[in-house]
Amino acid sequence: MLRHGETATLLERQARDGLVVPDYEGYCFANVPGTAGDVLGVDVGRALPADALSGIETAVSHVVVAVLDSLGWHRWRRDADDHRFLSRLDERGAVAPLTSVASASTAPAITSVHTGATPAEHGILGCDAALPGAETIVRPFQHDVRPDVAGASTEPPVEAGECIRVEPVYPRLEREGVETRVVQPAETLDTEYAEATLRGATQVAYDDPADGARTLRRALADARGPSYTYWYTPVLDELTHEYGPDSGAYHDALGRVTRYLSRALYDGVDAETAAETLLIVTADHGAIPLDSGPAGSLRVLDVEGIGQRLQRRGGDAVPPFGDPRACHLAVERGETGAVVDAVESAGATAVTRERARELELFGPADAPGWERCGDVIVTDDDRALVYPSMEKVADFAGIHGGFTPREMGVPFAAARLSELQ
């Protein structure tokens, strides 16, 4: 049964200083793998509260976690009645909102769903990771050094497994006799990031969403014992950036992707396997639309009072890092207050590292990843934050990574496949 009234309750409860703070100890996307593990009898970390699966029969042998990148709770509620896949989950499953992680962006959230850890624990707080001792900024998905960092080495100073500070969930599942598979687009597999976050799982590539759904069905059919299958599509996220999260192109793509999944899973899985399979559908983050032109962005280094107060290495300022909706600034000692004032004078919101830690914005206050946090985090309700390595976002029609309800609210839907057929 769809719990519509819980959306506002969760997001309002998590509101602090005008931000939606992730509910890391409760209803958070980072806790989805813990819930899947509990269903299979394996402890892989924090789980969602028990009522997330209220009314669902969980005595199953197989769990599928399907992540539709950029399917925010806002879009789920808006589109559910238009698509059989979503409407059947609404009618026959348990559906409720979660919060994303911070920042509400793909790199931190996807790292969380493969590790069961918060960003402050795994160390990926945004699109890139600032490595303090090495004085460089690494982009985790590519595992390369950002080229605009003056004096940085040309190669990452650590391996991907050190950049991501925790272990993935898959070896723990495998040790307990659970077969694990990760089904993703071919270009996202067999990379250094994949090696660090998917270690222990069988990586299964697909070419396009239709092939991906068929590949998921085959992965279920191939299981010879208890299994955990993770499935991911980036299609909605790509269209969010190009056309916006409220566009017809997004709506049509959601229809196609969910149609492929319903054909493969409802219509294509045999009755015995369906009765033994729990399907979980969720998303890493939502998104907001952006105004076109200058009104949709704030050029961070053009704000008077910021550039001259950034930390310098070899005479060059440390560039902004993190995320174009939650931008981190490394500030010279004693200048934090002046930078906060400058940010606020530009109509944006500034959060100091100390306040972010008090709020546990990125995770537990004692987690090691806080050393990668900037002195000041800049965010804005409506605009993209543009800086040299993020010029591309000035042309985006939609974006994510901030702390607004639309970005932070994501769906969690669960049902046994046999209930959906």
Query: For residue range 310-360, what is the model confidence (pLDDT) as tens digits?
Result: 998 877 899 999 999 999 999 999 999 999 999 999 999 999 999 999 999
- Structural domain boundaries in the chain: 6-124+164-289+405-420, 293-395
The reported pLDDT for the residue numbered 266 is 87
More confident residue, 6 or 74: 74
Q: Which fold has domain 293-395?
A: Gyrase A; domain 2 (3.30.1360)
Work out the number of other CB atoms within 10 angstroms of the CB of residue 100.
30
Omega before 103 within 30 of 0, i.e. cis: yes
Place of tokens 């992707």: 257
pLDDT above 70 for 283: yes
The reported pLDDT for the residue numbered 1 is 40
Phi, psi angle pair for 174, to nearest 5°: -60, -40
Enter the DSSP assignment of 283: -
Enter the DSSP assignment of 155: S
Q: In the predicted model, what is the mean pLDDT of the chain? A: 94
More confident residue, 11 or 123: 123
The reported pLDDT for the residue numbered 151 is 65
What's the rounded mean pLDDT across residues 116-135?
91
pLDDT above 90 for 63: yes
The reported pLDDT for the residue numbered 381 is 96
Q: Which two tokens stand for residue 286?
A: 């939502």
pTM: 0.96
3.30.1110.20, 3.40.720.10, 2.30.38.10, 3.30.300.30: CATH of 6-124+164-289+405-420: 3.40.720.10
User: Is residue 5 very low, low, confident or very high in pLDDT (cuts 50, 70, 90)?
Assistant: low
User: Is residue 410 very low, low, confident or very high in pLDDT (cuts 50, 70, 90)?
Assistant: very high
Query: Among 344, 370, 372, 345, which residue's Cα sits nearest to residue 359?
Result: 370
Helix (H) or strand (E) holding 413: strand 409-416
Burial, 155: exposed, middle or buried (Cβ in 10 Å; 0-12, 13-18, 19+)?
Answer: exposed
Instruction: Assess contact for 137 and 146: CB atoms under 8 A.
Output: yes
The set of residues, in sequence order, having a beta carbon less than 8 Å from that of 358 and lying 6+ positions away, is: 365
